[in-house]
Amino acid sequence: MDIREYMSEHRERMLNELLELLRIPSISADAAYASDTHKCAEVVANHLRNAGADNVEVVATEGYPVVYGEKMVDVSLPTVLVYGHYDVQPADPIDLWDSPAFEPVIKKTELHPEGAIFARGACDDKGQFFMHVKAFEAMVATNQVPCNIKFMIEGEEEVGSVHLEDFLEAHKERLSADVVLVSDTGVIANDVPSITTGLRGLSYVEVEVTGPNRDLHSGLYGGAAPNPINILCEMIASLKDENQQITVAGFYDDVEELSAEEREAMAEAPFSEEAYKKSIDIGAVEGESGYSIPERMSIRPTLDVNGIWGGYTGEGAKTVIASKAYAKISMRLVPHQNPEDITAKFEAHFKKIAPDSVKIKVSPMHGGQPAVTPTESPSYLAASAAMEATFGKVPVPVRSGGSIPIVSSFERILGLKTVLMGFGLDSDAIHSPNEHYGLFNYFKGIETIPHFHAEFAKRHG
Ligand code: BES
Ligand code: MN
Ligand code: MN
């Protein structure tokens, strides 16, 4: 039987199985969901077994387990290692969801006229890694597995994949392959296919500013006592200059400057400023002068406050000067910035600009290396040919602003390049309320993946 015929015959079930998977609240960041997250790993393992994978195992780590499975058809054929993650972001703020985050519903939207699945994890990444499980099932069932395929689906991506490097080190042999294939990114639009060729890195810190040793009456002490919230705001404001460049000393030292040709090639990818502004309902775009909006969001580093708190935030007014103020700050990094180096530079700078009236504590959280993937490799060309076959258009290479820290570890530890063949849309609201994934995208992915394996098997020397 033809793979496409198999897919259309089993379409309904392939959808219902994803909906069931989306009902499991596998939130890695919140210990209250630990048993659901472990259960999710078991469910994924069963899907792999049923799809025809061998040696399926839920491999324990210091954190949540990694689900492994493989189909070795012939050791002389190339091997593709499929990576994805079964953990999801927390659903909050839950009040802003139009339907419960773990009760998937299908609704039509402007960009998804055929309908989209609304649920946490629909696009990031359950809907996307599950396309690989279903495509694999179809390949096995129709006896058309053109290369060896290994699966490695982890459960801690959303909390920085902290135990995954150890896993790679410990299972080098088992994970040996020729390329890593990941669907955890997106396309420009459903009629503008693209392949992600770069990811930003990340340095993430929490800062604590301590003023007086206790909360004070803002009348009795106000005017002379240092207010850590005011001071934190001033310090944060000074982290960018009038051109919106980051002022942390040495921050840009290692930033890779793209050639004029590379920037011209980037400018070819369609982008509408008006549509962008409309999509998030803003009056104007912000950012570093001298760079286009897509450049600001991909090849340039950023510094953003992700959260800020301190003092009294309850109902009514309380006249108080708080003892402490806090902020969480993320810096997205580009090649060849190093997360540890940037974190150290941030800490030194932040302490240096603090007035004598306060004490500063900087706590590094997780980080991640940036990554760029080749565009002339057999694996890129295989992904390009696969998407061309199913979308009817040659995909454009685009650098993304997001981060998948393990991609650089695949290269460093396993010596493997990665292909980022994702099918989501930026507007699918990943990490936000009402996350969704288009039915078009889900089934287009399932249809495209077998082409990738066939094209890769054909090209790999
Ligand atoms: N799948 C996303 C990353 C992504 C999405 C890259 C869309 C490109 C396009 C991933 O699950 C994610 O959210 N990564 C985190 C990093 C992590 C260290 C928490 C991120 O980018 O914030
Ligand atoms: Mn993801
Ligand atoms: Mn994510």
Model confidence pLDDT, tens digit, residues 1-53 = 899 999 999 999 999 999 999 999 999 999 999 999 999 999 999 999 999 99
For 220-245, give the DSSP string: TTTTTS--HHHHHHHHHHTTB-TT--
C-alpha pair distances (Å), 109 with each of 94, 105, 116, 282, 438:
20, 12, 7, 20, 9
Read off the pLDDT of each residue in 350-376 and give the average, rounded to a whole number: 96
Domains in the chain, CATH or no CATH each: 3-199+370-460 (3.40.630.10), 202-254+301-368 (3.30.70.360), 256-297 (no CATH)
Per-residue pLDDT at 1: 84
Read off the pLDDT of each residue in 141-154 and give the average, rounded to a whole number: 98
* 299 C-beta neighbours (distance < 10 Å), count: 24
Per-residue pLDDT at 269: 87
Q: How many residues does the chain have?
A: 461
Read off the pLDDT of each residue in 133-142 and give the average, rounded to a whole number: 98
CA of 403 to the centre of ligand 1 (A): 5
Greater pLDDT, 83 or 367 = 83
pLDDT band (50, 70, 90) for residue 234:
very high
- Decide if 206 contacts 360 (C-beta within 8 A): no
Whole-angstrom distance, CA of residue 69 vs CA of residue 461: 25
Whether this model's pTM surpasses 0.85 = yes
CA of 431 to the centre of ligand 1 (A): 9
pLDDT band (50, 70, 90) for residue 159:
very high
- Decide if 368 contacts 202 (C-beta within 8 A): yes
pLDDT band (50, 70, 90) for residue 142:
very high
Q: Looking at the CA of 400, name the nearest ligand.
A: 1
What are the tens digits of pLDDT across the range 57-96? 999 999 999 999 999 999 999 999 999 999 999 999 999 9
Per-residue pLDDT at 366: 83
Ligand 1 pocket, Cβ-based, cut-off 6 angstroms: 124-125, 157-158, 160, 184-186, 199, 202, 366, 368, 400, 402-405
pLDDT band (50, 70, 90) for residue 457:
very high
Residue 105 pairs in a beta bridge with: 118
CA of 22 to the centre of ligand 1 (A): 18
- Decide if 423 contacts 85 (C-beta within 8 A): no
- Decide if 312 contacts 294 (C-beta within 8 A): no
Which atom of ligand 1 sits closest to the CA of residue 124? 1
**Closest CA relative to residue 123, chosen from 154, 84, 92:** 84
CA of 184 to the centre of ligand 1 (A): 8
- Decide if 373 contacts 380 (C-beta within 8 A): yes
H or E element, residue 71: strand 66-71
**In the numeric block, which tokens belong to residue 77?**
């054929």
Question: 165-184 in b/e burial notation, b at 16+ Cβ within 10 A?
Answer: eebbeeeeebbebbbbbbbb
Per-residue pLDDT at 414: 98
Average pLDDT of the chain to the nearest whole number = 97
pLDDT band (50, 70, 90) for residue 266:
confident
Residue nearest to atom 9 of ligand 1 (CA): 185
Whole-angstrom distance, CA of residue 328 vs CA of residue 227: 18
Whole-angstrom distance, CA of residue 80 vs CA of residue 63: 25
Read off the pLDDT of each residue in 290-300 and give the average, rounded to a whole number: 96
pLDDT beyond 80 at 461: no
